[in-house]
Chain A
Amino acid sequence: MEFFVAQILTGLANASSLFLVACGLSLIFGVTRIVNFAHGSLYMIGAYVGYSLIQVLPGVVGFWGAILLAGIVVGIIGVLIEMLVLRPVYKAPELFQLVATFGVILVIQDLALIIWGPEDLLGPRSPGLRGVVRIMGEPIPKYDLALLVITPFVALSLWYLMTKTRLGVLVRAATQDREMVGALGVNQAWLFTGVFGLGAALAGLGGALQLPKGGADLLMDFNILTPVFVVVVIGGMGSLPGAYLAAIIISVLNVFGVTYVPQSTLVLMFIVMIVVLMVRPYGLFGREEVAGEHGQVGEPERPIKPASNKARMIVGAGLFLLALLPIFGSSFSLVLATDVLIFCLFAASLHFLLGTGGLVSFGHAAYYGGGAYVAALLVTHANTPMELAFLLAPLGAGLAALAIGWVCLRLTGVYFAMLTLAFAQLIWSLVFQWGDVTGGDDGLLNIWPAEWLKSTSTYFYFTLILAVSGIILLRHIAHSPFGYALRAARDSKRQAEAMGIDTARVQLFAFGFAGLMGGLAGALFVFAKGSVFPNELEIARSFDALIVVFLGGVKTLAGGVVGAGFFKGIEETLLRFEYWRLLMGLLIIFVVIAAPNGVVGSLRKGLERSGLIKAGDQ
């Protein structure tokens, strides 16, 4: 019993930062409809800024003052991000803003590295709250008790702000119908900025508050992101009480998990999330998201056409040149080209889902990394020959996608996206924590191709053939009756169902097929590198693909491949610089603002405007 109470108290204390970050994210989403992926970064800055301020400010007052100040500083940074990066892209197609926030993540990562260096910073103890208190005989850190008081206090203040002040009323009104709020004389732009600033400040506060428990390091941004998304989704996007309750559930569960099932703490969180969403598809306190409810339906996509003969000849000539690479290129360029080709296939498979299917998956790395792991596990544990592994890896990934898709496709919009992310993270944590089989963090090594593919140039040709065939197949299917049915389900589910199309099944098959092609890319990857680590399953990998698809252009068939080729090429080049993330992040933000239709889409619009191509041509 004593132990039990102590566990719960620890869980509640841990819920503190999680709640602060989650309710900031929830607030921002509620009003702006932006899923702010950079929220973890704001939390990280909060920790670093807090750390620096504590070094300067002395004593108890200094400590708490520094934490408060850290929140304010991050709030100001949030305001700047909103004004400089997000304001220009509010009118861009839905979810495009996501990519901008991802650019922000990269920029902040490098800025933190430049300012605070690569070493983990040990969190300063809180003056006056060192040591423990015994409650029912169990030791509880005094700082935990302080957090136990602070969190409800912050939650109550927020509740007061949201329910009892005009500002709060305006925010809640804007969550429901921001256009109407504008028509009633409220300046939405400042409301957005204010909410973003407040959300950022809460994240910063969360980061600074956890300093004595966890310190500051450069991995904090992604590490908090997953539990925060889980909390926000379980609680219901946009709901503060939901975020509070969910933060407590997840934290307490985590503490018990560490004690009783230490091997599966991460997995536990996702299982809870999946169970909650199966029972309550919009979270504990969430509202149903109706597509287009907030007036964000973009311009309809153009009709597609099979490539013209001219286009085919140009692509053919390009491929021919690429095939000559082993003759005149260096071995470095061969490795680079192989990587880019694999990534193009990966991105094209996601583009099929996103563009043709209208199904925004945040967790496509599950199938890419999944394919890689299936191949690696088969080789490591069953001595499977490479050729067979190449067959089974995509199949395994495809089957996983079918199973996961079957669950996720019950939801739509942001909730669908979040659930795909959760499943991807579930697979990641399985691989990460099940070290006996998967090697855990150490990965699986010595997965080399068969003798006949040993040389870099043969493997390059092998990749070229498989990747290009895969991309052509994806493209062809987009033009086939199945691809049309998939677009029909995306454009008007109502009409599609009313003309006999089983849209659920069409979308499920598409999800499985995209997973299969992602798995093929993963298999190509693992044999090219000879090893695989859990980071191929990470959120970051899913985002890599998302970003290039968005930047390339969701609404153009070529968008995925062109985006992948273009950005992977740039990234590989930038990698030589120490601060490549900064450059890449700035580039992403620039493209988002300058080319809101994606590179291919904006290029096409530009050409149409200048009269170089006819409007309506692909």
Chain B
Amino acid sequence: MLEVSKINSFYGKAHVLRDLSISVPKGQVVALLGRNGAGKSTTLKSVMQIVQTMSGEITFAGTKISGLMPHKIAKLGLGYVPEDRRIFTDLTVLENLIVGMQPPREGAATWTQDMLFDLFPNLAERRNNRGKALSGGEQQMLTIARTLMGNPSFVLFDEPSEGVAPVIVEQMAQVITQLKSEGLTILLSEQNLHFAKVVADRAVIIESGEQKFDGTLAELEAHPEVRDAYLAA
């Protein structure tokens, strides 16, 4: 469904991604693993074209998206959940959801505010609170809910388990598993291998912007030396 082929991205003058290729088949959850600074976030941002790719090509559901504006890519059904949450802190929970609202899409679940409040009961209670009044975990949920309001068929999650309490991490894992069962395709970046094991079908490991491993989690399990070389201790 998503084909990233041989992309190169730069941050200022730093060459962050080098000939990186990743493919995510429909209905799968692929975890992008690697250390801090390996290029995981940049990969997701490159898919959204928030970071522009200098060469290579990205296609989504058969459409070439490299070179498009981020809003066009979002309109094609690609949702993005950023790493640092980036909710609109001056807006209420409801208003945050309104920003994410997009018309229903063929081949993807259609979400309503009520459905999302069922999925994230904490948010329902706080629907009229401003974003800045939410706890870290609630903000993380709001980020996901906001993206789902766009009825995406594919979601990019940037480190969903980063910086939130263990109980929330477990909840995240449940949510991602549920979304997958409803047919959503997912590419997530992660440092927490255990989290990845629970939710992902396949793992791609990158280091210094290059692909070092691509296989199922069972295969990764069978090669502890790969894990030791490229993942956090």
Contact = CB atoms under 8 A, between A and B. Distances in A.
Interface of A: 166, 169-170, 172-173, 175-177, 179-189, 299-300
Nearest to B101: A166
A179 B99 contact: no
Contacts of B80: 183-184
B74 A179 contact: no
Given A169-B98, A173-B91, A184-B100, 5 more contacts: A176-B90, A181-B99, A183-B71, A184-B150, A185-B100
B51 to A, nearest CB: 10
Contacts of A182: 50, 69-71, 74
A180 B69 contact: no
15 contacts: A169-B91, A169-B99, A170-B99, A172-B95, A179-B70, A182-B69, A183-B50, A183-B82, A184-B71, A184-B146, A185-B75, A185-B102, A186-B71, A188-B71, A189-B69
Contacts of B95: 169, 172-173
B62 interface: no
Contacts of B98: 166, 169
Contacts of B91: 169, 172-173, 176
B48 interface: yes
A170 B102 CA distance: 13
Contacts of B101: 166
B53 interface: no
Interface in B41-98: 48, 50, 69-71, 74-75, 80, 82, 86, 88-91, 95-96, 98
Contact of B90 (A172, A179, A189): A172
A236 to B, nearest CB: 13
A172 B75 contact: no
State the 9 A-B residue pairs at the shortest beta-carbon distance, nearest first: A185-B74, A182-B70, A173-B99, A173-B88, A183-B80, A180-B86, A182-B71, A169-B95, A187-B71
Which one of B80, B88, B90 has the greatest number of beta carbons of chain A within 10 Å?
B88
B12 interface: yes
B71 A185 contact: yes
Contacts of A177: 86, 88
A169 to B, nearest CB: 5
A182 B48 CA distance: 10
A183 B70 contact: yes
A300 B12 contact: yes
A32 to B, nearest CB: 16
Given A169-B98, A185-B74, A187-B71, A179 B88 contact: no
A175 B88 CA distance: 9
Contacts of B147: 184
B85 to A, nearest CB: 10
A185 B153 CA distance: 14
Given A169-B98, A184-B146, A185-B75, A299 B88 contact: no
A361 to B, nearest CB: 28
A188 B82 CA distance: 18
A93 to B, nearest CB: 14
Contact of A184 (B12, B69, B74, B89): B74
Contacts of A299: 12
A185 B73 CA distance: 7
A183 B48 contact: yes
A177 B71 CA distance: 14
Nearest to A184: B100
A170 B100 CA distance: 9
Interface string B207-229: 00000000000000000000000
Nearest to B77: A185
Contacts of A170: 99
A189 B50 CA distance: 15
Contacts of A180: 82, 86, 88
A183 B45 CA distance: 10
B89 A185 contact: no
Contact of B89 (A166, A176, A186, A188): A176
Interface in B123-181: 146-147, 150
Interface string B98-130: 111110000000000000000000000000000
Nearest to B96: A173
B38 to A, nearest CB: 22
Contacts of A300: 12
Interface string B1-30: 000000000001000000000000000000
Which one of A169, A172, A184 has the greatest number of beta carbons of chain B within 10 Å?
A184
A169 B74 CA distance: 18
Nearest to B88: A173
Nearest to B156: A183
B88 A176 contact: yes
B154 to A, nearest CB: 13
A187 B150 CA distance: 14
B147 to A, nearest CB: 7
Nearest to A176: B88
Contacts of B71: 182-188
Contacts of B12: 299-300
Nearest to B102: A185
A185 B70 CA distance: 7
A290 to B, nearest CB: 13
Contacts of A172: 88, 90-91, 95
B75 to A, nearest CB: 5
Which one of A166, A181, A182, A183 has the greatest number of beta carbons of chain B within 10 Å?
A183
B158 to A, nearest CB: 11
Nearest to B86: A180
Nearest to B146: A184
Which one of A173, A189, A299 has the greatest number of beta carbons of chain B within 10 Å?
A173
A90 B82 CA distance: 24
A186 B73 CA distance: 10
A186 B99 CA distance: 8
A175 B90 CA distance: 10
A181 B82 CA distance: 12
Contact of A183 (B74, B89, B90, B102): B74
A288 to B, nearest CB: 13
Nearest to A287: B90
Which one of B50, B70, B102 has the greatest number of beta carbons of chain A within 10 Å?
B70
B183 to A, nearest CB: 20
B14 to A, nearest CB: 12
A182 B98 CA distance: 14
Contacts of B146: 184
Nearest to B74: A185
A173 B82 CA distance: 15
Nearest to B143: A180
A182 B150 CA distance: 12
A179 B75 contact: no
A184 B90 contact: no
A216 B74 CA distance: 47
Nearest to B100: A184
A187 B100 CA distance: 12
A187 B102 CA distance: 12
Nearest to A186: B71
Nearest to A165: B98
A179 B99 CA distance: 13
A185 B71 CA distance: 4
Nearest to A180: B86
B46 to A, nearest CB: 12
B167 to A, nearest CB: 27
A184 B100 CA distance: 6
B90 A185 contact: no
